[in-house]
Amino acid sequence: MTDYTRRPGRLRVLAAMSGGVDSAVAAARAAEAGHDVTGVHLALSANPQSFRTGARGCCTLEDSRDARRAADVIGIPFYVWDLAERFREDVVADFVAEYQAGRTPNPCLRCNEKIKFAALLDRALALGFDAVCTGHYATVTSGPDGRRELHRAADQAKDQSYVLGVLDDRQLAHAMFPLGDSRNTKAEIRAEAERRGLAVARKPDSHDICFIADGDTRGFLAGQLGTAEGDILDEDGRKVGTHEGTHGFTIGQRRGLRIGHPAPDGRPRYVLDISPVNNTVTVGPAEALDVTALTAIRPRWCGAAPTGPGRYTAQLRAHGGETPVTAEADDGELRVRFDQPVRGVAPGQAIVLYDGTRVVGSATISATSRQPTTA
């Protein structure tokens, strides 16, 4: 299997250019390495003005123009591909449905899986390209068995392997991440963009969810799902407040609960459970959020699926730390036991397993529990 990270000769590379500095520098590095690079910007909204503007998005008309200008400076062909319908179905509709079911999804993982390394890659391969290049901070190498492996970025402070943990063997075989093996700081990446004459050198990074124009997730979901007043309950089932829809809450949430009076002990309360069926939200103390085990579904392996129980580290959030676990995959499920309790784990989130720096795979959390830990 070809190891594109070693750049063996001239390849036809499709560079996904979001309009930001990272993807622009990645495309420039791929071209400088001697590859035949074509830039493409993904139009992900039928009405781009409804997505964020300025620095806070990655799917706007402004971003498309910034990407085109960067491609012109690099000297590569550039196209805009309309994937708005696919994005609406696979990312936006999935996001809404997950919240409606009381789960907390990660739309960036879904976009990487369904759009950037499924719809985009499929079209790229059909057109004769060898690899898709993005500005993600991660590395891809060939393992001892010749299979492609996904690893953390050389600079773990910028590592984005968590949101790439959904990539399978086939997708990794055609992935190129020119920034992943670099220990350049973000300031140095911007300085490189400046030297290359890229106008995006000083463009701020995008943040949050690109398809929520004003950043108000609760308002967006209310617009999609409507409002339905329900009860906020304490652990003993006593009503302590009301809400306008369970979709406005996530496990571990503290702010925005709008509970009229404090807990008897005066301590803050957190969302412990969300029940769309009963239209209730349960709140309680922070220690009630402790999770010692979980079950996850729809596992996706970055290589061979593990056999038998194994020792790994797990990451539960894009910017979270690692925690030691014992995990076992069986019959389409992943069962995980934590060495020490962790907090704020919500169904719908992704858990990504690591063996050292190597990404083993990911799965979607379906249930959590508190079980006695073993020494």
Average pLDDT over the chain reads: 88
Distance CA 271, CA 287 (A): 11
pLDDT-based confidence at residue 48 (cuts at 50, 70, 90): low
Residue whose structure tokens are 């993982």? 109
- Which residues carry out catalysis? 111, 210
Residue bearing the bigger pLDDT, 371 or 366: 366
Which residue, among 5, 66, 21, 16, has the nearest Cα to 189 in the 3D structure? 21
Residue bearing the bigger pLDDT, 266 or 201: 201
Per the CB < 8 A criterion, the answer to whether 60 and 48 are in contact is yes
pLDDT at 145 (0 to 100) = 79
Residue bearing the bigger pLDDT, 29 or 375: 29
Distance CA 238, CA 50 (A): 41
pLDDT at 372 (0 to 100) = 54
The domains of the chain are located at: 4-202, 229-288, 290-369
pLDDT in tens, 260-270: 777 778 788 99
Query: How many residues in total does the chain contain?
Result: 375
Distance CA 125, CA 104 (A): 33
**pTM of this structure:** 0.88
For 290-369, CATH number? Answer: 2.40.30.10
Specify whether domain 4-202 bears CATH 3.40.50.300.
no
pLDDT in tens, 86-99: 999 999 999 999 99
pLDDT-based confidence at residue 240 (cuts at 50, 70, 90): very high
State the CB neighbour count (10 A cutoff) for residue 297.
13
pLDDT-based confidence at residue 58 (cuts at 50, 70, 90): low
Q: What percent of the chain has pLDDT over 90?
A: 66
Distance CA 83, CA 188 (A): 32
Residue bearing the bigger pLDDT, 46 or 246: 246
Q: Which residues are CB-neighbours of 156 under 8 A, at least 6 positions away?
A: none
Average pLDDT, integer, range 222-227: 91
Strand ordering across the sheet containing 131-133 = 78-82, 36-43, 12-16, 131-133, 175-176
Helix/strand/coil for 74? helix
pLDDT at 83 over 80: yes
For 229-288, CATH number? Answer: 2.30.30
Q: Which residues are CB-neighbours of 313 under 8 A, at least 6 positions away?
A: 322, 323, 324, 325, 353, 354
pLDDT at 55 (0 to 100) = 38
φ, ψ dihedrals at 341, nearest 5°: -60, 145
H/E stretch holding 221 reads helix 217-225
